[in-house]
Structure formats: C-alpha cells, structure tokens
Amino acid sequence: MAEEEKIPEEGAEEPAALAPIIIKKIIDEGHGGAHGGAWKIALADMMTAMMAFFLLMWLLGATNENQRKSIAEYFKPTSHSNITMGQLAGSNGMFGGSSIIDPDGFPYSAKQTSLMERVTPNSEGGPTENDPSPNANERSDPAQMSEAERKKAAEEQDNANFEKLEKAVLEKLAQNPKLQNLKDQVQFTREKEGLRIEIIDKADFAMFGLGTTGMTPRAQALVSEVAKSVQGMDNKLAIRGHTDSVAFANTDGRNNWSLSAERAEETRKMLEKTGVKADRFAKIEGVADTAPYNPNDPKDARNRRISVTVMHKD
C-alpha cells in the first residue's frame, strides 16, 4: 500500500528555515599606520636638528668675527673635481697609480681647523708650530695681533693668574695652624693697576711694633706665605705702607710719612728674602694716613696696613 502523502492541515504552521552559520575570522596584522615606530625616527631627527640649532646659536654668541670665519671655512665644501683620474689605481700601467681609498690620492688632506683647536693651548691639543693652517698661530703670535687684542689677551691672562694666586694664598693660610685665624686680615681687591693684597692690623694683631719698623714673627710668617705664592709669577710688584693718624710723641723728626715708607721697605726686604727677585719691585711708597681703611675713624687699627699689588703686565 503506497504511503499516503501527508498534506498539512489548513492553518498549521510551516517549519522555520535554519539560519545560516557565519564564521568571522579576525586576523591580527599588528599595529600599523600612526601606531607604527616611524614616529620615533621623526622625533629623533627633530631633536638632533634642535640640538644642532642651539649649538649654532651658542657658537654665534661665544665667538668673535675671526673665529666665526674660521668655523665657516671649516664647513665650506671643497671640490675634488681636479683629481687627475689618470693617476688612480692601475691607470698608469700595471700596478701604477694610487688607490682610490689612499688618502694621498686626494689633493685636499683632512686638517683640523675647528674652533676648539684655534683657542685650545698647545698642551691640550691646540695648534703647534708645524700646523700648516694659515691662522693656526694667530692667537699665540702677538706680532699678528692688534694693540687692543694684545692688551685684552694680556688682561685675560692676568685675571686668570690673579684668581689662582688668591686661591693659593688662602689655601696656604688655611693649611698653616699658626695663621688660620689671620686669614680674615688678608683681603684681595681688583683695581686698575692689578690685584691688591692687603695685610690689615687689628686689635690683637699688628704687623709692626707700635711706632717701629720691626716686623712681628706672625707677620713675617704671613708675608712669607704671600711671597711663596707670588714668586712663581713675573708680574711687577708695588708695595705701599699705611698708618693711622696717631701722631709721634717724640721730636726726632720722624712722622707717619717716614714710618709708612720704612714699613713698606721692610716688607720688600722680607719678600725678597723669601724668594721674590729684586727686579720685580716697581714701586715702594708710604702714604701715611692719607688713604685710611676706615675713613670714619682715622685712629682705627685697621688703617695700619701693608698693600702688595701684583701689577698687570701690560
């Protein structure tokens, strides 16, 4: 008996169709575009350019016209077009000519002409007598410098020496137990003539006995330390004696003028005895009480002092 075909009854719901299955594959291709590493290279390039820019600004502000010209010449491109190609490797026959990588094959040998070499002393790698650059010894040869440049260079050298001298004297006083409490009695003043070193009396310290030219032992030790610091220099020295306004009680004709001059001469003898050459003394003078340390009190003990001036060379 044949199977009867089932006919859906009227009003019955038809079975729902199956929904298709969709499979979504996500492939991670890594970071791309703006999330790559290219920005790091760009940032590095920008920082390098900024550093070069600020270095250029510093060089322009720290150099003079001649130095800037030297820098410009250093970075000026040079042409190698005049190399005779017929003299390169193998061009003049078997094993003839020079190699293309041979430094002698180039007519412009590399030479250090940078700014640092021009301003650095010879002991630190600066220009020497054998330096072929035309301006190598421009700063070291006074004959090629103008009068103003020569004076400026001498003044800068003196100021550097004065600073070293001041530190050396203070260090010697600090290292000497007998003179540690006297370091405040030594004062340094920069003036037109040079560096003035003043040894000042106080209530419990005097360089000389009252009204005499006899230098006390502590003053002798103090002057000796000053002499040791200046004997290595070749600058001229000027010594000046000062007194207070207290007048002499005797009537032998001596006064503060003669006393101040005699004390200056006694200081000169002590300096020379300690090692300072006699030909370095340019001026020995006494000014009595005409230039007091304390103008408000002419009798102040600090007005009694000795000044040793290390004079400028020029």
Q: Given this model, what pLDDT does residue 27 score?
A: 67
Give the span between the Cα atoms of 119 and 127, in whole angstroms: 8
Burial of 307 (0-12, 13-18, 19+ CB in 10 A): buried
- Pull the structure tokens for residue 6: 């089932």
Do residues 305 and 165 share a domain?
Answer: yes
Domain range for residue 305? 148-311
Are 131 and 169 in a shared domain? Answer: no
Residue 313 CB partners (closer than 8 Å, separation 6+): 154, 157, 158, 234, 235, 236
pLDDT of residue 32: 53
Q: Specify whether 159 is located in the same domain as 306.
A: yes
Helices and strands (DSSP H and E) totals, the chain: 6, 5
* Distance between CA atoms of residues 283 and 268, nearest Å: 10
- Per-residue pLDDT 10s for the chain (314 aa) are 445 555 555 555 555 567 778 877 776 665 555 566 788 888 999 999 999 999 888 888 888 877 777 777 777 765 444 444 444 444 455 445 555 455 444 444 444 444 444 444 444 444 444 444 444 444 455 556 677 777 777 778 888 888 888 888 888 888 887 777 777 788 898 888 889 999 988 877 889 988 888 999 888 988 888 888 888 888 899 999 999 988 877 667 788 999 999 999 999 999 999 889 999 999 999 999 999 988 999 888 889 999 999 998 86
Question: Does residue 198 fall inside a structural domain?
Answer: yes
Verify that 135 and 284 share a domain, yes or no: no
233 CB contacts (<8 Å, ≥6 apart)? 161, 165, 310
- pLDDT of amino acid 262: 93
pLDDT of the residue at 240: 94
Token digits for 287? 């000014």
Q: Do residues 115 and 172 both lie within one domain?
A: no
- Residue type at position 94: M
| CA–CA distance, 229 with 274 (Å, rounded to integer) | 11
Whether residues 115 and 222 share a domain: the answer is no
- Is the pTM value of this prediction over 0.85? no
Q: Are residues 223 and 286 in the same domain?
A: yes
Same domain, 129 and 231: no
Q: Are residues 218 and 165 in the same domain?
A: yes
Within this chain, do residues 123 and 266 fall inside the same structural domain, yes or no? no
CB 207 within 8 A of CB 219: yes
Strands 281-286 and 237-242: parallel
| 196 lies in some domain | yes
pLDDT at 233: 86
